[in-house]
Structure 1
Amino acid sequence: MRYPLRTGMTLSVILLLFLAFNLVWVVKLPDLRQDFSQQQTNTLSPAALHLLTTLESPLDFYYFNSSIPAKKSILKHYAKRVEEKLRAFEHAANGRINLHIIDPTPFSEDAYKAGLYGLRDQPGFFGLIGAREGQTAQRIESFNPENEPLLEYEISHLITQLLHPEPAIVGLLSGLPAGASIEPLVLELHRHFDLLELEPTADHVPSRIKTLMLVHPRGLPEKTLYAIDQFVLGGGKLLMFIDPLDKGGSKTTSSATRLDALLAGWGVSMPSNKVLVDPTYAPSEHQPATFTLPRQAMNTRDVSTWKLGTVTVSNSGALFSLDKSRAIFTPLLHSSRQSLLIDSDAVGSALPTRGEPHVIAARLEGPAYSAFADGFGGRPPGLQKAAQIHVVVVADTDMLSEPPGESARNANKLFVMNALDNLAAPQALADIRPRAVAGHSLKLLAKRREAAERAYRDQAAELERRLARTEKEWQRLNPDVTALGTESVDTSTQLQALNKERLRLPMELHTLKNTLYAPVQRLERNVKLLVIVPLPALLCLIAWGLFRRRRRRWPVPPSAFY
């Protein structure tokens, strides 16, 4: 009897001491935090910590996260990571950020407030409201797991908007001919920025402009190219849209040479009169030079593609990094592996079957040199080099004015806005780079997945083109009509054949995808089992060993001897 009683009393005393410690002493201990994630994703970067030091007044964060059963598992896991990131911001701000976590139930006052502030219900709310006294509230209407590498930037962007609500000053310089209007985009730029439009013959960039958007420099005179050269070398940030074709017909040989030298000084080249065609992403085989880039054709870890689903380009060129350049060349948009760079007058003719991916847009950062080593216009040479430039080059101008469809125009506008907003951002925000997310696949698994994706793209391209043609023909023969009451049903032989194709081709695509991805899925399942099973099994083995050891030490009751 004494042994069980003594054991019970000992456990009771330990429990009371544990409760007393938590109630009295835990609140007096320092707040110690340790990030055990593989990529240190719960630890803020030095740039984000520097941004928080600029806070002069407290901010309030209202994190709306609906815990509803209908929410997908991946969103639930990501919601937890967002909360951890927000808590890291709150902790690093030393009392200057107050985080409020809200679970808005349906039809509640919290749900009403979430909708009032413009958060998206899809289903349930998953967004953030930032408030600062005396300033307009800012929101992230919905967090997206696909943007996890940009999560730190996304929250920092909201903080920056609260600290600097005034629009950034951006200059616009266009060499497009009079017939090529980008007026809808210009109106959108005026809404978001303090936009200053410069004359095409400008010989300098005003000092108040720190970020410049340049469109079609082939149509600009040499003195304007010299002004751009000095602006970039002097620390100005540039977003340039350059067309491979001479649209205006007014380009001189000297201007063309200067423009090529300007690009070469930044470490990039773009062949003129060469057009990119992409049969994989082109909606029609009759217009292979006009195509829509999906999400997988973008650099999803760059701010320029933030919240972006597609981008439509037309008669675009291709960018190449120069071998001798020391500038960092980061592709932002690229074509498929079936794309080809051909002469502009060969568009529409028979194309070779083999191609390769080409870069359509790129970010340039690093050392650069002037294209005007001898100065210009009799003036002595200006700046000749810079240790760090910030330039985004896009090998297309048609995307600013001609993308078909309202959704394509909005997507292209968003790409321009993202790039300009990032270039014009305060340095404390611009220094924040995308973070690698925790839980990346093993290298072998990543290579297998990439190989399966490449094989699927190669083998599914023809099926997808046939399906697109079939759908287009089906819509032509079976258009939507307005009818009163009932209407007759067309069951012609041609429609029946088309409908069979509409059913068969998606099934073939689904079967092809399952076949190619099956080995990858088996490998993923084996990796998960390898990671998940050993730890519980080891803990069970340790517990069983401790139980056996303690059982041997238990005293034998006296009745056992009788």
Structure 2
Amino acid sequence: MNKQLLSPAGLVLAIILFVSFIIVVNNNLTSARIDLTEDRLYTLSNGSLNIIQSVQQPITLRFYYSERVAQALPGIRAHAQRVQELLREYERASNGMIRLLVIDPRPFTDHEQRAEQYGLLGIPIDGEDDPLFFGLAATNELDGLEVIRFFQTVNEDTLEYDLTRLVQTLSEAQRRNIAVLSALPIDGEDFDPLSGRLEEGGSPPWPIMGELRDLFNVSVLPADVRRIPSSLDALVVVHPKELTDATLYAIEQYVLSGGRLVTFVDPHAEIDQPPRDPDNPMSAMMASRASNMDKLFQAWGFQRSPTDVVADRVTATRVDFGARTNHQPIDYVLWQALTPDNMNQEERITANLRRINVATPGHFVLLEDASTEITPLLSSSSEAMLVDRRVVQFRNDPVALLTRYEPGTISYPMAIRVRGEVQTAFPEGARDATGQVQKMPNHRDSSDGPIDVIAIADVDMLNPRFWVQQQEFFGETINFTTSNNVDFLTNAIEDITGTEGLISVRSRTGFSRPFTRVQAIQREAERRFRTQERELQRTVQETQQAIARMQSAGAGEQLLTPEQEQEIAELRQMANQAEQELRRVRVNLRQDIERLDTQLKFFNIGLVPMIVILLAILSGWLRLRKRRQGRFQH
């Protein structure tokens, strides 16, 4: 009797205790949390904490969010909660130097007007009279202003990086000074950076320049510069094509005096498009697209291989070349997506990057008598092979490159870091504007101390197509990064200039997990079937050509002999069989990939729930069996 009375009372008491516990936790333990994600995605990185805790002047974060308008948008609501929670983490970690204000800019209020003055976007929503504001305006006491006009849900992976960069920009009194020197129009042509206007026929700056200007004070040097300012913290040289000895001498003397250098060279820069000559259509194809700094490199203990391009089947990206590949994507071994396995995990620059895209990259050869310490940063897989750059320039056949691929056993360094003391490559100086060989006033025959140079054997990795996608969003161009190419460059600049910066934060962006085993199976299946496909296509083509020759020969004689007709019939039968076999090979390739896809879906979607159900059934059966045994014993 007591059990029957206590059972409902105990249940009610348990419910009351549970609700009370939730209320207490919500009110008093709002900052307590456990982050169980693999990369601790919901915990501020050490880099963010260091920047937040070094803030010297108060910063106010005004988070504008139209909560009522967003009620019908679950994706926006979830992202807004994530943004607000992260902003509160910044406030808590700042020791009172960061203040967060959450503002709902209702229509016709001062808050809405202020949000518009800050440049935040008010997005019209179907079925709503009021616009949706979802942005951030950050200010400091010196009237500094940094704005995120609208938090894109697709940028959730970079949220911490974007917020930390914003805080750093407002808190940093002085930014590093860097200069860019390039033979390419990297800073645009006929473009006014102050007004943002582009003259007719001009080109805008590459997106990489916008990223650099967000973090550093950037100046652009002419390709024929004869002196590098000593006030620079770092120099970035991109595609030094046909630089004069005077310019190379200026770069060298800057490095010998303690300057830091990051240089991108290339055996075949696809982004370098030579001008077309209407009178000579072949001139553009014959023009060199290579760049090098061979005199300096050899003095520093290495050289870029002058003739070879690195091909790699392991890291190849899938590309659809249209009719050239039967409108099917194939592994293009000259375009590679480097993974952490290809990156030096001991160097901060590359330790936590996930993916770097390169295109027709070269590689470096280390000299035996080098006085420097040379550390690879990016390397190919050990199955890479070398391709003569002339094959790429004049006879580039993606299918042939794949089917004739012969894996090697050597890993080729494609980006290196060079440190150590060196001697000048220009002991007599270089020719000046008058043609006389002269030394600079402060000429150095040897470095003042160990040099620090980073060299990359690929220029195309800075090409926007390999690291960013651009999309128009209500009149604003939004950049979506697809790889860590720009992160590699900014990490390199920050590291060689001794800046803590955003390296540890930047490396947390992008959290996709590729199915490496699946990709390997797909590569092997495609290689096997593509080889068969190419052989069958050759058989079909040769058979059809033989038939055409016999028919044309017979046409001149008016009649074909019975032997010729019989041979033509056999050739046609061979061609039909080859075409049927070709179709079968293509079907098998598709079936192999689809079968693999089906198996993955089964294991990921069906198998785990089935195991849980079976365990539940087994547990219930064991419990029932134990209960029955207890009854029999009584």
| In 2, Cα distance between equivalents of 1:82 and 1:458 | 48
Structure 1 equivalent of residue 389 of structure 2: 342
Percentage identity across paired residues of the two chains = 19
Structure 2 equivalent of residue 258 of structure 1: 295
How far 1:211 sits from its partner (Å)? 3.4
Match of residue 217, structure 1, among 240, 243, 256: 240
| In 1, Cα distance between equivalents of 2:181 and 2:509 | 36
How far 1:270 sits from its partner (Å)? 2.5
Q: Name the SS for the 1:207 alignment partner.
A: coil
How far 1:522 sits from its partner (Å)? 0.5
Give yes or no for the alignment of 1:40 onto 2:40: yes
Matches within 5 A, 1:453-492: 453=523, 455-456=525-526
Structure 2 equivalent of residue 518 of structure 1: 595
Give yes or no for the alignment of 1:171 onto 2:171: no
Matches within 5 A, 1:12-411: 12-23=12-23, 27-28=27-28, 31-55=31-55, 56-60=57-61, 62=63, 89=90, 92-93=93-94, 96=98, 98=100, 117-118=120-121, 129-133=136-140, 134=143, 135-139=145-149, 142-144=152-154, 148=157, 150=158, 152-163=160-171, 169-174=177-182, 176=183, 184=188, 187=191, 188=204, 192=210, 193=213, 194-198=217-221, 200=223, 202=225, 204-222=227-245, 224-229=247-252, 231=254, 234=258, 236-242=260-266, 257-261=294-298, 265=301, 269-272=303-306, 297-299=336-338, 318-320=362-364, 322=366, 326-330=374-378, 340-343=387-390, 347-348=394-395, 354-355=404-405, 363-365=415-417, 367=419, 370=422, 372=424, 377=429, 379-383=443-447, 386=450, 389-395=453-459
Query: For the structure 1 residues 528 and 549, does the alpha-carbon distance in structure 2 shift closer, same or farther, using more than 3 Å as the test?
Result: same
Give yes or no for contact 1:205–1:231 (8 Å, CA) kept in 2: yes
Match of residue 452, structure 1, among 522, 547, 551: 522
Q: Residues 196-227 of structure 1, C-alpha deviation per residue, up to 9 Å, x if partnerless?
A: 34355545422332232324435334454354
Query: For the structure 1 residues 170 and 67, does the alpha-carbon distance in structure 2 shift closer, same or farther, using more than 3 Å as the test?
Result: farther
| In 2, Cα distance between equivalents of 1:519 and 1:206 | 58
Q: Name the SS for the 1:52 alignment partner.
A: helix
How far 1:167 sits from its partner (Å)? 8.2
How far 1:43 sits from its partner (Å)? 2.7
Q: Residues 245-281 of structure 1, C-alpha deviation per residue, up to 9 Å, x if partnerless?
A: 999xxx9xxx96513416x64x6x4332557899985
- Listed as ranges, the gaps of 5+ residues in structure 1 are 287-291, 401-405, 465-504, 555-562
How far 1:35 sits from its partner (Å)? 1.9
| In 1, Cα distance between equivalents of 2:321 and 2:148 | 38
Query: For the structure 1 residues 237 and 9, does the alpha-carbon distance in structure 2 shift closer, same or farther, using more than 3 Å as the test?
Result: farther
How far 1:318 sits from its partner (Å)? 1.6
Structure with bigger gyration radius: 2
Instruction: State the aligned residue count.
Output: 472
Q: TM-score when scaled to structure 1? A: 0.58
Q: Residues 426-460 of structure 1, C-alpha deviation per residue, up to 9 Å, x if partnerless?
A: 6321343423877847xxx6313332156448857
Matches within 5 A, 1:537-548: none
| In 2, Cα distance between equivalents of 1:125 and 1:368 | 56
Q: Residues 164-205 of structure 1, C-alpha deviation per residue, up to 9 Å, x if partnerless?
A: 59986432334x4xxx76672584559844543435554542
The residue identity in structure 2 corresponding to 1:435 is R
Query: For the structure 1 residues 463 and 118, does the alpha-carbon distance in structure 2 shift closer, same or farther, using more than 3 Å as the test?
Result: farther
| In 2, Cα distance between equivalents of 1:143 and 1:282 | 29
Give yes or no for contact 2:237–2:263 (8 Å, CA) kept in 1: yes
| In 2, Cα distance between equivalents of 1:141 and 1:542 | 47
Give yes or no for contact 2:63–2:137 (8 Å, CA) kept in 1: yes
Structure 1 equivalent of residue 285 of structure 2: none
Q: Name the SS for the 1:428 alignment partner.
A: coil
The residue identity in structure 2 corresponding to 1:98 is L
Q: Residues 386-422 of structure 1, C-alpha deviation per residue, up to 9 Å, x if partnerless?
A: 486555553469969xxxxx99xx99x9999777666
How far 1:158 sits from its partner (Å)? 3.7
| In 2, Cα distance between equivalents of 1:456 and 1:103 | 55
| In 1, Cα distance between equivalents of 2:482 and 2:15 | 59
Q: Name the SS for the 1:394 alignment partner.
A: coil
Query: For the structure 1 residues 32 and 122, does the alpha-carbon distance in structure 2 shift closer, same or farther, using more than 3 Å as the test?
Result: same
